[in-house]
Each structure stands twice: as C-alpha cells, then as structure tokens.
Amino acid sequence: MPRIYRVDVGGEVYHVLNRANARVQIFDTDADYQQFEAILEVAIETYNVPLLAYCIMPNHWHLILHPQTDGEMQKFVGWLSNTHTRRWHVAKETIGQGHLYQGRYKSFLCQKDNHLLTLIRYVERNAKKANLVKKAENWKWSSVWRRTYGTIEQQKMLSPWPIDMSRDYLKLLNQPLTNAEEEALMKSEEKNIPFGSEKWTKAIIDTYDLGQVLRGVGRPKKNGG
C-alpha cells in the first residue's frame, strides 16, 4: 500500500499522533512520562517547531505543532520518536525486542480559527474522556496541566496559540465535544484529511495536492466490486 503524502510546510498547524505497537501500554510510571517530556523539550530546543498543545496517554500521544520552516516537522517527529524508542528500550532492558510504535505517525493540517480551538480541546481532554481524571487540567502529562499548574520554567515548553483563548477555556474544555466534532476529528485522524471549514479544506487539498486523501489510499477496486 503506498504511503499517504505528508505536507510539511512552515506556518501551518498540525495534529500529530503516534500509538504503541499493538496499542500496549508504554507509559507505566511517572518516570516513563517524564522521560518522554524531557525528550520532547530537547526536540523543541533543537528544531524550529513550536508546541501548542500535547497529551501523553498510557499507550499513545498527541501533539499540536506549528512549525515555522518547511520540512522541519518531519525531522522533529522523527527524532522524537526514534530517540524515545531507543531510551525506552534501554530503560526497560528490552533492546532488540521489536518496534515500540505501530508504524509511521499520523498527522493532519488544521485551520487556524475555531477549528483549532476544537482540536486543542480534543487533545487536552483525552485523559478526562478516558476517565483517568475528573477534570482535564488534572492530567499531569498534558499541556493544560503544564499551562495551569506548571512553573514558569515548565510553561516555556509551550508556545502561544495563533488564536485567542477564551477566559472560560477550562470550563469549555471539560465539556464534551459534539458528536459532529468528534466524528470529523476521527475522520481527519484516520485519513489525514485537513480539519477545517469546507472551503478551507478544499483550498488546502488543492494547494498541497492532497486529492488522494479524498480518493482513499490503496489499490483501486476491481470492476463489479
């Protein structure tokens, strides 16, 4: 099956996701989460890729990135994933025992308007939706915790959003997304379809030649089915 072409253009906003191989739990202890966050900090310092939001879950993680240079996001995510894989295997004494992640990371573009606010809510309320915490901001391994309770030094890992944050953001965050919002985001996540208005999405698909995301990836169906 051919790979889906990845857009990696500076100035755009991307949602990036990677899951553990077979979706097994890879973050078991505080030290596991801290290790990933430490690697993430180094990646941010090394590459020109501001981090808008993130959430680390027991078997996967979400990042919302705003790279400023063409081609930089793939370098960022590649280094992050490879470095984490190596250090995780060293810490767990499992070197040579297979892949940590199930494959290439998934990513999709997001419009810098209310759609981005919806995406950030989707990412930052992951732990609440999974019933790991009662309030989204109480999940320590996320940008909302770091932004709400973290020290000034911890907050430096996060960059300002390209949209305004409402004053009642935490109240909004702890409210569920609509079914339509959830379905649209899941579709974007699964098929790499840009998340935004119909007009913006069409323009992005035309601009970056992403027609394959609408046609689907894989072998064409044979006649008659």
Residue 125's pLDDT is what? 97
- Residue at 146: amino acid letter: R
pTM above 0.85, yes or no: yes
Each residue's pLDDT tens digit, 89-141: 888 766 656 678 877 789 999 999 999 999 999 999 999 999 999 999 999 99
Q: What is the DSSP string of 10-60?
A: TT-EEEEEEEBGGG-----SHHHHHHHHHHHHHHHHHSS--EEEEEEETTE
Each residue's pLDDT tens digit, 8-28: 899 999 999 999 886 788 999
Q: What is the DSSP string of 53-113?
A: EEEEETTEEEEEE--SSTTHHHHHHHHHHHHHHHHHHHHHT-TTS--SBSSSPEEEEE-SS
Residue 24's pLDDT is what? 80
What structural domains and CATH numbers belong to the chain? Answer: 13-215 (3.30.70.1290)
